[in-house]
Amino acid sequence: MSYQQERLIAELAVQRASLLTQKVFFEKAKGTVSKDDKSPVTIGDFGAQALIIQAIRKNFPNDEIVAEEEASSLREDKALSSEIWRLVKDIKLEDEESNNLLGGQLPSEEAMLDIIDQGKSAGGAQGRIWALDPIDGTKGFLRGGQYAVCLGLIVDGDVQVGAIGCPNLPVDDSVTISSQTGAQQTSDAGKGVLFSAVKGTGATSRPLSNGTLAASKPISMRPVPDLSQAVFCEGVEAGHSAQGDNAAVAELLGITKPSVRLDSQAKYCSIARGAGDIYLRLPVKKDYQEKIWDHAAGDLIVREAGGQVTDIYGNRLDFSKGRTLAANKGVVAAPKAIQDQVINAVKTVLKL
């Protein structure tokens, strides 16, 4: 199975949904609601989820979908629902053929709510399951920092296809990343990248801009001959990974440069293209289970670019356990050649 059609649909769906998120941001349409877990969810998250699920349903009607958001709060907030519909209804790619492939415009506001609710699969070890994070790094999105539109296809527990749109990353793969917590986001020029991978065929990047079906370029992690020179990245939100432990691991590895802080799976994408080297996500809360939509696409893109992605024990991420990575704790991603060294440092710092 080559998964080329799945990759095409995933790329176009992510590209279209990214257009919506950019429109939401630039129109300052930043209505948010709080979920039970107290995380914010914006007009962009709901709208992007609707657009991507529509594309999956149109092309692969029998597949299951595990998506982050659900529409119950929207059904009780007519004003917010109408505002999302206003922004979603006219979103399209420049290329008519691509729009038709994705199913065209959504038919109505009510249909949009129903579609948002089609991402409630329990996940698991069997069959074809799409993992969708319509906006990963919602807090980064709200701050004007990094965020990502992420879609992965898991087949019998194994990620086969991944696509990630990063509207605020530089197009140029060779630009070394720097911390982006919001304030630096001033200009749009040269920004917006679409990353993708199919298992066994490598990872690629291309510009995300509307209408560009430009050729994808292969990307790969850069070699790290001197670990002390490695660039390590971590999340901006201190509640999502233990920044003190991350720093202690870096110090043990002899890394002297401070971490680069980015929200979202832009971290996986950045190391995959050689704009950084190591991604550390050491757990803050012992009982937190990472969500599959926060990692599926990024895990594949990094591994296809020559990296290894494991949890803090050195075990591969297991996407067959349902909606969460119930068998794993934390995430450590690095070039294959140095992954063992990084894991040893993690084990020392966390006393595992």
Ligand X SMILES: Nc1ncnc2c1ncn2[C@@H]1O[C@H](COP(=O)(O)O)[C@@H](OP(=O)(O)O)[C@H]1O
Taking CB within 5 to 8 Å according to partner kind, which of ligand X, Mg ion, none is near residue 288? ligand X
Q: Answer yes or no: is 311 a known binding residue.
A: no
User: Residue 137 CB, nearest distance to Mg ion (Å)?
Assistant: 7
133 residue type, one letter: D
Which residues contact Mg ion by CB under 5 A? 39, 68, 133, 135-136, 294
Active site residue 318: no
Q: Answer yes or no: is 340 a known binding residue.
A: no
If binding is defined by CB under 6 A, does position 70 make contact with ligand X? no
d(CA 352, CA 348): 7
Instruction: Please name which of 53, 47, 51, 52 lies closest in space to residue 29, comparing C-alpha atoms.
Output: 47
User: Residue 40 CB, nearest distance to ligand X (Å)?
Assistant: 8
- Sites for ligand X among residues 293-322 (CB under 6 A): 294
Taking CB within 5 to 8 Å according to partner kind, which of ligand X, Mg ion, none is near residue 240? ligand X
Residue pointed to by tokens 């505002």: 83
Residue number closest to ligand X, CB atom: 235
**Binding pattern to ligand X, positions 330-349, x when CB under 6 A?**
--------------------
Active site residue 138: yes
If binding is defined by CB under 6 A, does position 263 make contact with ligand X? yes
If binding is defined by CB under 6 A, does position 237 make contact with ligand X? yes
User: Residue 227 CB, nearest distance to Mg ion (Å)?
Assistant: 29
User: Residue 230 CB, nearest distance to Mg ion (Å)?
Assistant: 25
Active-site position among 138, 173, 277, 311 = 138
Report whether 45 contacts 68 (CB < 8 A): yes
Q: Answer yes or no: is 135 a known binding residue.
A: yes
What is the distance of C-alpha 277 from the center of its chain? 18
Q: Answer yes or no: is 294 a known binding residue.
A: yes
Active-site position among 42, 45, 299, 311 = 45
d(CA 42, CA 56): 22
| One residue of 3, 31, 39, 248 binding ligand X per CB under 6 A | 39
**Closest CB to Mg ion among 140 and 306?**
140
DSSP 26-59: HTT---EEE-TTS-EEEHHHHHHHHHHHHHHHHH
If binding is defined by CB under 6 A, does position 351 make contact with ligand X? no
Where are the alpha helices (H) located in 130-187, listed in sequence order?
138-143
d(CA 219, CA 174): 10
User: Residue 68 CB, nearest distance to ligand X (Å)?
Assistant: 6
Report whether 7 contacts 161 (CB < 8 A): yes
SS3 content of the chain, % helix, strand, coil (to 5): 35, 20, 45
Q: Which two tokens stand for residue 250?
A: 């870096």
Residue 10's CB: how many other CB atoms inside 10 A? 29
- Sites for ligand X among residues 119-158 (CB under 6 A): 133, 136-138, 140
Handedness of CA 47, 48, 51, 56 (dihedral sign): negative
**Binding pattern to ligand X, positions 217-236, x when CB under 6 A?**
------------------x-
Handedness of CA 114, 117, 123, 128 (dihedral sign): positive
User: Catalytic site residues?
Assistant: 45, 138
Residues tagged in the binding site annotation for Mg(2+) = 68, 133, 135-136, 294
